[in-house]
Amino acid sequence: MYGEFPSARPRRLRTSPAIRRLVAETRLHPADLILPVFAREGISEPVAISSMPGVLQHTRDTLRKTAAEAAEAGVGGIMLFGVPEQKDAVGSQGTDPDGILQVAIRDVVSEVGDALVVMSDLCLDEYTDHGHCGVLDDQGRVDNDATLERYAEMARVQADAGVHVVGPSGMMDGQVGHVRRALDEAGHQDVAILAYTAKYASAFYGPFREAVNSSLKGDRKTYQQDPANAREAMRELALDLAEGADMVMVKPALPYLDVLRKVADTVDVPVAAYQISGEYAMVESAAANGWIDRDRAIMETLTSIHRAGANMILTYWATEVAQQL
């Protein structure tokens, strides 16, 4: 009977690289990739991040070169994070028009124009002396609504600097709608919002905190999502879409591929996933010890994220992989 062994032999379509390539169901493209980059204030040479081999805190000059290299490789976008010299309780540098992130935005836009989609992290954690993603009330708790006002101001100065897309990442309730209103009222209707829709309170953020010189003590479990919850992510998704999100994100990527699939099956907007610092560090450290094949592991992880439904992937390997592709 048709379909039974020996007439049905799936291995026929695995016999050579050419045929495997022909029938591949998932294909990565350089334009699918977004490169996260750290711009640090007050340094004359780039600074290596020990827990993320190969990733740097950039000077203004090396940031420009990195952006140009990404654009030449065909990378789709660049996500900028600022690392300031000075911090305070309300993250003043995050809303200073001459703060490091706004300077970085202007530098990258002037360097690559529209060859890259220039994105910016819209959050206070890099700029606060307590390391939280918002301002604190008199009991030391993150004040959701007061933080929204700070995010609105951040959105305006980032848009004024020329950013194409803002990424509100603090997981405050109502952040997408508040940022959308602030942008529209300031005449920045064309600036898009990449919503960090399902951002989990993950153990895999550790290396990132070194990358941004984080001052955090404690955790962010009162505002980032509980790793145990998937259905809650769909509620966050519905709220972000109702508030005007242009794109949505799941972060981290690999531990939450099930959530990513649910999101991708639900929405009609582009879906991103962030392959975060801890995911990067695990592959790099295992490869450095000879335990895994580095290049194959990188491509396998990115393919799995794309297969699970991500149209765009933020990854620290973006330029390297784009050059290989």
- Report phi then psi at 219, rounded to 5: -145, 180
- From 204, 203, 273, 206, select the one nearest 233 (Cα to Cα): 273
Instruction: Note the helical H segments in the chain.
Output: 17-22, 60-73, 100-112, 144-160, 175-185, 206-211, 231-243, 257-266, 277-288, 294-307, 318-324
Exposed/middle/buried for residue 221 (C-beta within 10 Å: 0-12, 13-18, 19+): exposed
Instruction: Identify the active-site residue in 87, 199, 217, 262.
Output: 199
Instruction: Identify the active-site residue in 65, 87, 251, 262.
Output: 251
- From 214, 33, 227, select the one nearest 116 (Cα to Cα): 33
**What is the rounded CA–CA span in Å between residue 207 and residue 120?**
19
Secondary structure letter of residue 221 according to DSSP = T
Q: How many CB atoms lie within 10 A of CB 15?
A: 10
Q: Would you say 299 and 18 are in contact if contact means Cβ atoms under 8 Å apart?
A: no
Query: How distant, in Å, are the alpha carbons of 40, 244, 312, 316 from that of 275?
Result: 22, 24, 11, 8
Q: Reply yes or no on whether 251 is catalytic.
A: yes
- From 276, 122, 278, 141, select the one nearest 220 (Cα to Cα): 141
Tokens encoding 107: 């530098």
Tokens encoding 145: 């609504």
**What is the rounded CA–CA span in Å between residue 225 and residue 234?**
12
Q: Reply yes or no on whether 199 is catalytic.
A: yes
Q: Which residues are catalytic?
A: 199, 251
